[in-house]
Structure 1
Amino acid sequence: MALSQNGWKAGTPEEIGGLDTSKVAGVGFPQGVRRGPAAVVLHYLLYQLHTRVEPLRAGWCWGYHYKRIEGSDDLSNHASATAVDYNAPDHPMGKRNTFSAAQRAEIRRILAELDDVVRWGGDYEGRPDDMHFEIVAGVAKVERVAARLTGNPAPTPPSKPGRPAPGPEIPYPLPKRYFFGPESGGDESVSGVHARRFAGHTDRYWIQTWANQLRRRGWPVGQGRRYLTRAGNDGKFGPEYDQLVRAFQRDQALSVDGELGPMTWAAAYRNPIR
């Protein structure tokens, strides 16, 4: 079975369950998007972009297309109809910050409303793709978000006993009030960019160590996987690490702030795997 990069089944429209060709704010997407919960999520995203970022332009927005990622053997998420390109000619691949700072902030607020089941190509650490938005969560999570958007909450599956986290626990390596975060966060935000040393190792080493612990817990972390897809676990805290930290915080019912501080660090070693 062919899978697109995000793990969804790819193929002809018939093979993936059909396409939703509904227009959004009067604008169509060639061949539409995947029918069902994916369409609910992507249509919500597009309408919010239309009203809060910039209006959709007819003929400039694209959906399903069975193809491979440029420069890769992986199938594009367009091939599973779980990705869209938005006002593409104004936001060409390879050009960063084609949206204003205010627009970029609004885009990230919209993605947060969708519980980060959608990733924006403008946050890629490698070649940027500002036009591109793609589903990156699994079917079950997308179904839950779609149910919330349509006012029909999905039933919560019964909880299962957790497995102990893999050990041994590694103590939090930073001084009080310091956290792992973006370079722009000030002196107390340790980004892995400047090779600062803490507890005998570089900051990059510690960021990699924590991400490896999530991998040991079963999280799909690494180049070509759901988290840290582009650059892999390189220890440099950018948008992909922010996405991973927020996803883990949300999973563990922690405060979701994108900062890898002592509570988020410890949860990876102490909290059971559900």
Structure 2
Amino acid sequence: MATSQNGWPVLLTGSAQLHTFVIPATTGVFKIRLRGGSAGFILAHFLLWFAEVIEPVAGKTLDDWGHAVRSIRGQTTGYSNHASGTAFDVNSLKHPLGVRGTFRRWQYAKMRARLVLYRGCIRLGIDYQNRPDEMHGEINKPLATCERVARMLMSTPRGKRLLAANPGQKAVILS
């Protein structure tokens, strides 16, 4: 079975393991296709916070995405973490690949501080050393760790809102 860069199994388009998460942000509802269950829930939880604290995610412009079966940009081998549904790109027109400094200082500080809540499960492209990818976030831990973190996030106010907007995901996380 093929895996993405982070070791998660690649999911083909149409896989029953994919879920289109509805992100019920107070700044506007948007959708993103990710792996269902704990990994996707963690990423969706971060995106909900991002849209309400860092900057709105309009959803009107097609510059936000999750799952895409493709290789790692700039490489000839290996699957991107998007291929396993464990990565997102958000507001890509404002934060293009290869450009550093697309956020304000306070935004970087808040995003880095927020990562503590996810206990290492999320890595952001704002911290890539070789090639900046400030639109990007990805799962950085194995399933068991993500399951523990997702279960903890389920009881937070944003977690409850996400579960209400995505019926059936609670059962997937708890399975």
User: Of the candidates 52, 66, 69, which is equivalent to residue 66 of structure 1?
Assistant: 69
C-alpha deviations, 1:172-209, integer Å up to 9, x for none? Answer: xxxxxxxxxxxxxxxxxxxxxxxxxxxxxxxxxxxxxx
Bigger radius of gyration among the two? 1
Matches within 5 A, 1:216-231: none
Unaligned runs of 5+ in 1: 153-274
**How big is each residue's C-alpha offset from its partner over 1:215-257, in whole Å with a ceiling of 9 and x where there is no partner?**
xxxxxxxxxxxxxxxxxxxxxxxxxxxxxxxxxxxxxxxxxxx
Sequence identity percentage:
38
1:107 aligns with 2:111: yes
List aligned pairs for 1:35-184, cutoff 5 A: 35-58=36-59, 59-72=62-75, 73-151=77-155
What secondary structure sits across from 1:119 in the alignment?
strand
SS at match of 1:151: coil
- 1:14 deviates by 5.3
**Match of 1:8?**
8
Q: Secondary structure at the match of 1:142?
A: helix
TM-fit CA distance, 1:110: 1.6
Change (3 A) 1:40 1:11: closer
Amino acid at match of 1:10: V
Separation in 2, partners of 1:61, 1:121: 15
Match of 1:45, as an amino acid? Answer: F
**Residue 96 to residue 114, structure 1, CA distance change in 2 (3 Å):** same
Cα distance in 1 for residues equivalent to 2:129 and 2:143: 25
1:20 is matched with which residue?
Answer: 19
Query: In angstroms, what is the RMSD of aligned CA positions?
Result: 1.5
Which string of whole-angstrom CA distances, capped at 9 and with x for unpartnered residues, describes residues 47-72 of structure 1? 11011110112122111000001122
**Letter of the structure 2 residue corresponding to residue 43 of structure 1:** A
Equivalent positions of 1:166-245 (< 5 A) are none
CA displacement at 1:80 relative to structure 2? 0.1
- Paired residues in the alignment total 149
* Runs of 5+ unmatched residues, structure 2: 157-175
> 1: CA distance between counterparts of 2:53 and 2:120?
18
More strand by share: 2
Q: Which has the higher contact order (CA 8 A, sep 6+)?
A: 2
The letter of the residue matching 2:17 is G
The TM-score with structure 2 as length reference comes to 0.81
> Letter of the aligned partner of 2:39 in structure 1?
A
Letter in 2 for 1:68: S
> Which residue is 1:214 aligned to?
none
2:166 is matched with: none
1:62 is paired with a residue whose SS is: coil
CA distance in 2, matches of 1:40, 1:122: 21
CA distance in structure 2 between the aligned counterparts of 1:13 and 1:109, rounded to whole angstroms: 34
Shift of the alpha carbon at 1:127?
A: 0.5
What's the TM-score once normalised by structure 1's chain length? Answer: 0.52
Post-superposition Cα deviations, 1:134-178, rounded to whole Å, max 9, x if no partner, equal: 0010000000000101139xxxxxxxxxxxxxxxxxxxxxxxxxx
* Kept in 1: contact 2:13–2:69 (CA 8 A): no
